[in-house]
Amino acid sequence: MSDNSTATVISVPEETLVNRPATGKFKAFMSKFMKQKLAVISSAFILLLFIVAIIGPHIVPYPPNEPNYDALMEGPSAAHWAGTDEYGRDILSRLIDGTRLTMAVSLSAVFISAIAGTILGLISGYYGGWIDRLIMRGSDVMFSFPDLLLAIGIVAILGPGLSNVVIAVAVFGTPSFARIIRSVTLSAKESLYVEAAQSMGAKNNRIIWKHIFPETVPSIIVNVSMKIGGAILAAASLSFLGLGAKPTEPDWGAMLSMGRDYLSIAPHIVYFPGFIIFLTVLAFNLIGDGLNDALDPKTKN
Amino acid sequence: MGRYAIQRLLGVIPLLFIVSILVFMFIHLIPGDPARLVAGKDATLEEINGIREQLGLNLPLWQQYVNYMGDLLKGDLGESVRSGIPVMEMLESRFLPTIILTFTSLGWALIIGLLIGIVTAVNRGKWPDYIGMLAAISGISLPGFWLGLVLIQVFSVQLGWFPTGGIDTWQSYILPSFTLGAGIMSMLARYSRSSMLETMREDYVRTGRAKGLREFTVVGRHALRNSLIQVVTVAGLQFGFLLGGSVMVETVFSIPGMGRLLVDSIAFRDYTVIQALLLMFAAEFILINLIVDLLYGVLNPKIRYASK
């Protein structure tokens, strides 16, 4: 799962922008993006995480799920760089092993909401009328539930578990995509080339996918990159509350939840998973900022 | 302004109506038989039927909705499936801690967020700007529950300055509200910075400087006042973030608020309580957004005059 997502996340900007007639755009984008040191460093970090997610099981120093009752809650040492947890399991190994799960959950949730939101936004913006009103009122209703609470509500309905966490996080992410894509669609619809296509008798479907959709791609990329951090936090929060990953699964959020009970005697059980969540979310947010600055026509230099 | 306010007020009614339908549908969206789920694995058929009756699930759907809405308008949220206690009674003591927590967090967030925003905007491109903005984006990226746990470990367990949880004294609210406010504080810092940068490019700021006003007056009196409009709106819109976060923070700090009750009720499959809480949270959020909208109308003369 995460292997595929890896390829998509990194290659989307290149493919879509390169295939377009103006090849110079990609160069311009890259030169702008590369100037943002923090975003570039963050991209390197995320790339590293993807590699860890793929080869994780082969590089763990200890079996991540095997208890070791001779080494319970040991602090960081040469043998266990991040210490051991309440079952004596090596925390670093569990973090490495959990990278795959955490990435898969958050990326699939964001991709689902990006796809659903983009389709809804295109339809809403292009056709207008009652269908537009229906979709926008629907998103208003969704917005009237605070994000995390909506997700908690959905998990309360569907029951705990990581696949339901994906659905919940995807559902609350959808309206924001729909709104952003709708507004881009509205302005693209007014452009001359769309009018030209319409007057030549092109079918609506063709106009939407061939002429309007490419215009929305930069917004989709920026929003995807901005949402991944939030999705990781939301999934971790749900796991922390016991609504997501099972305690046995090496999910970063679930590791925090288990370690909570031992906070006063072995704080490192909580420190390391939380810190890696923080770094990952920070990196995604910095990339989002960088992409936003590089792709937004309004920002100069 | 009057017409604008009435428009906004009327707009909220259908929204509340739809939200109430969604919350009503909650129990019907559960895959499987909710009565069986509540009763547990070892329940007899009689027990299951009893619970089904108690939840009113044996009635036709439309009648269930009429009953639900009728009770709701009377302020009756039903009884807990678990304890039989009226939900309204359960909520009473839970309401205040959550409100105190969210508003103190908002207070922190506004004050510190604005300060960071002003300092970074005024020093644009210099080191306070970089540090402030790095701090802000870090704040957004911090898992709130983790920050809470780290603060407890450092300030409560090791230094002993604050209680580790509960709401016995006012000091108990300091760490939780700071934890909850951190994320929104960072967002406000970013918004107020960009909004300040925008207003500082305006003509009236240049005029202020040209006529020799001190920089402090220019920033405080002219630029800040005009960026406040945007910042207040953003703060209100982020209120949902606080409500969602309160669930986490209340769990970490063992605060007996609505969020904690929600988590406990989910664990016990206490569907009536979950339903009531979702409705309360959504209603509170809609209400806050309405207030923000109205406040925006008051603060922004453009809207005030446009609707006249």
Contact B13/A at CB under 8 A: no
**Chain B: nearest CA to A67, how far in angstroms?**
25
**Chain B: nearest CA to A108, how far in angstroms?**
19
Contact A134/B at CB under 8 A: no
CA distance B15 to A144: 8
The string of pLDDT tens digits covering residues B272-281 is 888 888 888 8
The beta-carbon neighbor of A263 closest among B15, B141, B152 is B152
Contacts with B150 from chain A: Cβ below 8 Å = 267, 270-271, 274
Q: How many domains does chain A contain in total?
A: 1
User: What is this model's ipTM?
Assistant: 0.80
A9 domain-assigned: no
CA distance A17 to A24: 9
DSSP A226-274: HHHHHHHHHHHHHHHTTSSS-TTS--HHHHHHHHGGGTTT-THHHHHHH
A22 domain-assigned: no
Count of beta carbons in the 10 Å neighbourhood of residue A177: 26
CATH 1.10.3720.10 in chain B is located at: 89-306
Do residues A55 and A3 touch, judged by C-beta distance below 8 A? no
CA distance B208 to B200: 10
Indicate yes or no: CB of A149 within 8 angstroms of CB of B152.
no
Distances (CA, A) of B120 to B110, B129, B130, B131, B224: 15, 4, 8, 8, 13
Contact A127/B at CB under 8 A: no
- Tell me what pLDDT residue B306 has: 54
CA distance A13 to A15: 6
Indicate yes or no: CB of B286 within 8 angstroms of CB of A144.
yes
Query: Of residues B125 and B249, which shows the higher confidence score?
Result: B249
Q: Which residue segment(s) compose the domain that A134 sits in? A: 34-293
A276 domain-assigned: yes
Contacts with B282 from chain A: Cβ below 8 Å = 144-146, 149
Indicate yes or no: CB of A263 within 8 angstroms of CB of B157.
yes
Q: What pTM, to 2 d.p., does this model score?
A: 0.82
A209 domain-assigned: yes
Which of B38, B140, B145 to probe by mutation at the A interface, max A CB count within 10 Å?
B145
Q: Which residues of chain A have pLDDT under 70?
A: 1-23, 71, 78, 296-301
What is the chain A residue with the closest CA to B155?
A264
Domain containing residue A148: CATH number: 1.10.3720.10
Which of A152, A169, A279, A286 to probe by mutation at the B interface, max B CB count within 10 Å?
A152
Contact B19/A at CB under 8 A: yes
- Tell me what pLDDT residue A119 has: 93
Average pLDDT, chain B: 81
The string of pLDDT tens digits covering residues B104-123 is 998 888 888 888 888 888 88
Indicate yes or no: CB of B244 within 8 angstroms of CB of A146.
yes
Do residues A135 and A123 touch, judged by C-beta distance below 8 A? yes
The tokens describing A34, both together, are 């590369």
- Tell me what pLDDT residue A297 has: 55
A135 domain-assigned: yes
Task: Please name the fold of domain B89-306.
Answer: MetI-like fold (1.10.3720)
Indicate yes or no: CB of A282 within 8 angstroms of CB of B141.
yes
The beta-carbon neighbor of A144 closest among B15, B30, B242 is B15
- Tell me what pLDDT residue A166 has: 92
A14 domain-assigned: no
- Tell me what pLDDT residue B209 has: 78
Contacts with A233 from chain B: Cβ below 8 Å = 141, 143-144
- Tell me what pLDDT residue B70 has: 83
Closest CA to B156 of A266, A263, A262: A263
A143 domain-assigned: yes
The beta-carbon neighbor of B278 closest among A149, A233, A274 is A149
Contacts with A277 from chain B: Cβ below 8 Å = 143, 146
Count of beta carbons in the 10 Å neighbourhood of residue B266: 23
- Tell me what pLDDT residue A8 has: 38
**Chain A: nearest CA to B35, how far in angstroms?**
13
The string of pLDDT tens digits covering residues A211-266 is 888 888 888 888 888 889 889 988 888 888 888 888 778 888 888 887 777 877 77
- Tell me what pLDDT residue B1 has: 60
Burial of A67 (0-12, 13-18, 19+ CB in 10 A): middle
Contact A132/B at CB under 8 A: no
